[in-house]
Homo-oligomer: A and B are copies of this chain.
Amino acid sequence: MNLQSKKNKKELNPNVSVDCVIFGFDLDQLYVLLIDSGSTEAFSQARMAVPGDLIFDTENLDEAAIRVLRELTSIENIYLEQIGAFGDPNRIGKKDSDREWLEAIRAQPEARVITVAYYSLVRMPNFNPKASSFAKSAGWAPVKEVFDLAFDHYDILQAGLEQLRRKIKIQPIGFNLLPEKFTLSQLHKLYECILDKELDKRNFRRKILNLNILTNLDEKQIGVPHKPSQLFEFNEENYKKLSKEGFDNFGF
């Protein structure tokens, strides 16, 4: 649910929404982008939600998710994957703050709404919240510190996390969370954050390098108070070749 005015809600399908779990990474921990209803209730996580909106009858589900992402981040070409549909009759409007929010943003706040959830991976520094529609209302929260959200969004977040964990083991999608140039240690840390467990440094490096999907840029970090690291970039060509041959497992 975004915070557009009620006016043009007539064109929106009252029964179907999309919600986007947008993940970011600051080289230290995993974040999720949340919006705040700014409700009259005391500040709490129950006032926060992942961004989403009702769909237009003229767009498909992916397009609706892309629209929501664009409104928030003004980034195109974002990695996006469907999590699935959530449709409990009482999934929204269980709590008082949910109902207050719905009344503020929905032409038909009582309507039955099923939502199609997506997750998305973005480079946090490129993230540029549009002050107009989301001033003071959008921000990053460390995934580990989120314990509750509005509506059924906590369940959606957990489902997104699980799918990300499953997927990152068999496809190198993590690059979408890193800067274009990154070090193996940063990639290593990213995998540890997503999978929430330690991975052996030497084994990690060997496996990821053996996939031949990284290009060593022969550049070094500068200004770091320790041995500077080599910088790498993701090699999409080699990855496409690899995908066609098919590979099953990074083995983490």
8 Å CB contact of A85 from B14, B61, B249: B61
User: Is B61 in contact with A112, judged by CB distance below 8 angstroms?
Assistant: no
Residue of B nearest to A86 (CB): B61
B-contacting residues, A17-42, CB 8 Å:
none
User: Is A84 in contact with B82, judged by CB distance below 8 angstroms?
Assistant: yes
User: Is B116 in contact with A85, judged by CB distance below 8 angstroms?
Assistant: yes
8 Å CB contact of A60 from B59, B60, B89: B89
Give chain A's interface residue range (CB within 8 Å of chain B).
20 to 34
User: Is B87 in contact with A16, judged by CB distance below 8 angstroms?
Assistant: yes
Give the CA-CA distance A14 to B15 in the complex, in Å. Answer: 9
Known A-B contacts A59-B89, A82-B85; the reply to A114 vs B116 at CB < 8 A is yes
Give the CA-CA distance A243 to B67 in the complex, in Å. Answer: 39
Known A-B contacts A13-B15, A15-B13, A15-B15; the reply to A87 vs B60 at CB < 8 A is yes
Give the CA-CA distance A60 to B113 in the complex, in Å. Answer: 11
Contacts of A15 in B (CB 8 A): 13-16
Residue of B nearest to A90 (CB): B60
User: Is A116 in contact with B87, judged by CB distance below 8 angstroms?
Assistant: yes
A122 to chain B, nearest CB (A): 22
A residues apposed to B, CB below 8 Å: 13-16, 55, 57-61, 82, 84-89, 112, 114, 116, 249
